[in-house]
Chain A
Amino acid sequence: MTSPKALVEGKPGSKHLLLGNEAIARGMIEGGVSVASTYPGTPASEIVDSLAAVANEIGIYVEYSTNEKVALEVAAGASLCGLRSSASMKMVGLNVAADALMTLGYIGVRGGMVIITADDPNCYSSQNEQDNRYYALMANIPCLEPSDPQEAKDMLLDAYGISEELELPVLYRSVTRLSHTRKPVVFGEVGEPRKAEFVRDHGRFVMVPSNARARHAVLLEKMDSAKRISDESPYNKGFGSGELGIIASGVAFNYVMDAIEETGADASVLKIGMIHPLPEERILEFLKDRSSALVVEELEPFLEMRIRSLANKHSLKTKILGKEEASLPRCGELSIKRVALAISKAVGRDFGVRFENPELSELHLQIPTRPPVLCPGCPHRASFYAMKASGMGDAIFITDIGCYALGSLPPLSIGDALLCMGASAGLSAGVSKATGKPVVGIVGDSTFFHASIPGLINAVYNGHRIIYAVLDNLTTAMTNFQPHPGSGLDSLGRPSKRILIEEVARGCGVEFVRVVDPFDLKSSRTALREALAFEGPSVLIFRRECAILEARRRAEGGPRRPPYAIDYGKCTGCLLCLNRFGCPAMILEGGRISIDPILCNGCGFCAQICPQGAIEASANED
């Protein structure tokens, strides 16, 4: 991929193929940002990952914080001292950080501070389709929305300027199709970092009620003056001069341009860059004399509803079309086709544009799905197998956010409920109290530190009899293997103080704590049975390094490991290995099971479970 070094070494004026997230990282380098914090989450992860790779060379402080709330607070602290900072996170991360966000606007900032939220239309890697632009309304802070990687870099510099002019944090909204779109980006000059100094200001920084009342009024004044900034933004742009008006922001603008080309519709487009506060004058100018205007935006009808309200307030007759009005679907992500159909509907004309071949639907293609799966050699699969094989009867399994959520699919089918980061502890307690049945809460190592500890303390304090299974693979695997407090590595991969999950659990008052190797099936089963019999909350830590990290180390010269194979002299074809364990390296063709030597990671766990002893390490390596 693009070498992270290019982010620092690229000369001003040079062009580089960058992900939207990498472009945002370059924007931070050009903006003289000193502190960049995050908690990893798709689709935001690469922003800080790419900075971490070059942090030493550019002298930027990069931090994977324990969760998004802490990340936002660390960035805010630096910004109160005059440094430019950023906190980046996936959209649900801002829920965790929301408590800090809601009052940060009252305190305001000194050095520019930008909070980057990456929303995930279509839930490519998320549990919901929430639209974080509403946080800008709720916290009443400025919000900008870039449309492509070049703009994601350039507009970030303006965001820092606006943040410093208003002394407010700025919300910067990306979506998956920006964060994970790679396009050429032309670099600018590298910026100078600010100098840090903490200057006390009790009335401004200490949000006791008397100060908060006064600061609320200050915030409203600032946001009133921000309307001018929004109206004058260089990112508001007009295209075309047709009868149909289209207002778009962010990535949605691109679909509009292509849909106009596809349909040949006579339309004019207003692209807006700052979405809170709205560029009201610009919008009113665009709407007047038009009978209708289509608002195209990713996720909720955020702009549409406010533009309709603006039009009503000014007694405009313009009909506002969009998602609430139902010209565009509200679920999933936009596409050229969706926007083209909305344009056709808006002008009441079928442009004769055909997309997919209609004969395809007559094929009635019934093809197997291919959901993401736990990797061959994944220790989580072994942990789940042990849970299934330990006589847990009618136990209810509450899972959490991470790779291990994939264990809820057959054949493992471990995961009866999944809500949000760290929820497994609290949900398990409620389910246990309600049913009296055995309840197993499942959580990953990074998720354990992120948000589950208060839930665990609650289980001890309020006496909930749950088994809390921490699947510890020593990394934040799903989001690209970032270190965490239990990995013994700091944000740049250097050795650091390692916080042991078992010590945290004991510190929380848990009396039954065991650490097992999930590849040791016998010990795992024993520990599970003992936990089941224990009167009170228990913590079982299934600890083994992520199979991908382990395989990478072997590829870099570690000991080689042969793939496993079936001894057909012993195999009776019972298919227990496939039906109960279901490693993706197992292939069933013509009723016969085999192991794909390319996919097999050589972990050998399947050899432990075969009742015939018919699975063995093969003599030949691929």
Chain B
Amino acid sequence: MRTKNVVIAGVGGQGVILFATTLANAALMSDLDVSVSEIHGMAQRGGSVVSQVRIGRKVYSPTIAEGRADVIVGLEPLEALRSIAFSNERTLALLNTRRIIPTTALLHGPKYPETEKIIEIFEKFCGSVLAIDALDLAKRCGSTRAQNMVLLGALAGLGALPIASEAFAKGIAASVPRRAVGRNLEAFKLGAEFASSSKSLDMAR
């Protein structure tokens, strides 16, 4: 198999690294080689955070080349857009529609683009796009912080990676604190259901 490349973009504090680690644990439980590149320290303080997960038989580089993402997961729309150079005409984009507006965009400099505009750009440059209000789904299982697991569920539900649903569940159990496993699994399930029932997705394009 060719190495699968997943870019996860979001804002520090949204659980980008937890998403990546959970996905990697799921890959490990599927007997695949996997690499996660993370950014710690200063960048985590509410700034742009990108994590890159590579899954395959033998993974070398910790980072993904421009234009080589199989999947771009945007925990936040603007951060997804910042990572669009990773996309190609077959890329699947999973976009959370919940915006976090940086103070820079309020005070000075370029304005935050409309969410619809961001989705349009992804539709133009990617193979398929699924937009999700992950906050809404996360609230349904009682945790606004579980938006990352909603998106992970959506990724699993679309079957874009060579990882079975059970491996994802094991990945969650291996990655989150014990008391939070139930809540995260529930968010994961809501995301998966949303993705598999979604009519808006055009995988054939």
Q: How far is the CA of A598 from the CA of B11 in the complex (A)?
A: 14
Q: Which residues of B contact A356 (CB under 8 A)?
A: 66-67, 85-87
Per-position contact with A for B59-75: 1 when CB-CB < 8 Å, else 0? 11111111110000000
17 residue pairs of the A-B complex, CB under 8 angstroms, read: A1-B17, A15-B28, A17-B34, A124-B41, A125-B43, A182-B35, A182-B38, A183-B33, A183-B36, A257-B61, A335-B65, A356-B85, A369-B109, A372-B47, A582-B107, A588-B101, A589-B101
Taking A1-B21, A372-B42 as known contacts, 20 extra A-B pairs with beta carbons closer than 8 A to each other, sorted by chain A number, are A17-B21, A124-B42, A125-B41, A181-B36, A184-B34, A254-B62, A257-B61, A336-B65, A337-B66, A355-B65, A360-B84, A360-B125, A369-B102, A370-B82, A371-B47, A371-B104, A372-B44, A372-B47, A406-B42, A589-B101
Per-position contact with A for B24-57: 1 when CB-CB < 8 Å, else 0? 1100100001111111111111111000000000
Q: Which residues of A contact B47 (CB under 8 A)?
A: 370-373
Name which of B24, B45, B111, B112 has the most chain A CB atoms within 10 A of its CB.
Answer: B45
Q: Which residues of B contact A1 (CB under 8 A)?
A: 17-18, 21, 175
Q: How far is the CA of A14 from the CA of B159 in the complex (A)?
A: 29
Query: Which residues of B come within 8 Å of A, CB atoms?
Result: 11-12, 17-18, 20-21, 24-25, 28, 33-48, 59-68, 78-79, 81-82, 84-89, 100-113, 121, 125, 144, 175
Contact A355/B12 with A367-B110, A371-B47 known, Cβ cut-off 8 Å: no
Contact assessment for A17 and B25 in the assembled complex, using a CB-CB cutoff below 8 Å: yes
Q: How far is the CA of A183 from the CA of B20 in the complex (A)?
A: 12
Contact assessment for A588 and B106 in the assembled complex, using a CB-CB cutoff below 8 Å: yes
Question: What band does the interface of chain A fall in when counting residues whose beta carbon is under 8 Å from B?
Answer: 35 or more
Q: Which residues of B contact A326 (CB under 8 A)?
A: none
Q: Which residues of B contact A180 (CB under 8 A)?
A: 37-40
Name which of B60, B67, B104 has the most chain A CB atoms within 10 A of its CB.
Answer: B60
Contact assessment for A372 and B45 in the assembled complex, using a CB-CB cutoff below 8 Å: yes
Contact of B45 among A255, A262, A375, A588 (CB under 8 A): A375
Q: How far is the CA of A148 from the CA of B86 in the complex (A)?
A: 23
Look across to chain A and name the residue whose beta carbon is closest to the beta carbon of B53: A182
Contact of A124 among B36, B43, B82 (CB under 8 A): B43
Q: Which residues of B contact A359 (CB under 8 A)?
A: 125
Q: How far is the CA of A435 from the CA of B66 in the complex (A)?
A: 49
Contact assessment for B121 and A375 in the assembled complex, using a CB-CB cutoff below 8 Å: no
Q: How far is the CA of A88 from the CA of B36 in the complex (A)?
A: 22
Q: Which residues of B contact A178 (CB under 8 A)?
A: 62
Whether A209 is near chain B, meaning CB under 8 Å from some CB there, is no
Contact A357/B45 with A365-B81, A367-B78, A369-B109 known, Cβ cut-off 8 Å: no
- Return A477 CB to nearest CB of chain B, in Å: 9
Contact assessment for B45 and A251 in the assembled complex, using a CB-CB cutoff below 8 Å: no
Contact A182/B21 with A125-B43, A357-B87, A371-B47 known, Cβ cut-off 8 Å: yes
